[in-house]
Amino acid sequence: MKRRLATRRWALGMGIISLMLSPLAAAHPHGWIDFSIRVMTDDEGVMRGLHQTWRMDPFYSLVVFEELTQVDGASLDEGLDQLGLEIRNNLAAQHYFTDIRLDGEPLALGEVSEYTAMEKDGRLAFTFILPLETPQPLAGHTLDYQIFDPTYYIEMVHDAEGNQPDPNALVLHGEPVCELSILGADPDPELVMQAALLDVDEEGEPGLGRHFAETGHIDCR
Could you report the per-residue pLDDT of 145-203, keeping only the tens digit for each? 999 988 888 889 999 988 788 999 999 988 888 999 999 988 788 877 777 766 665 55
* C-alpha–C-alpha distance, residues 14 and 11, integer Å: 8
Cβ 1 vs Cβ 212: under 8 Å:
yes
* C-alpha–C-alpha distance, residues 148 and 215, integer Å: 10
Question: Domain ranges in the chain?
Answer: 15-219
Cα–Cα distances in angstroms (integers) from residue 58 to residues 8, 90, 170, in the given order: 16, 21, 22
Cα–Cα distances in angstroms (integers) from residue 209 to residues 17, 53, 124, 128, 192, in the given order: 18, 19, 22, 21, 11
pTM tops 0.85, yes or no: no
Query: 70-121: per-residue pLDDT in tens?
Result: 877 678 888 899 999 999 999 999 999 999 999 999 999 999 999 999 999 9
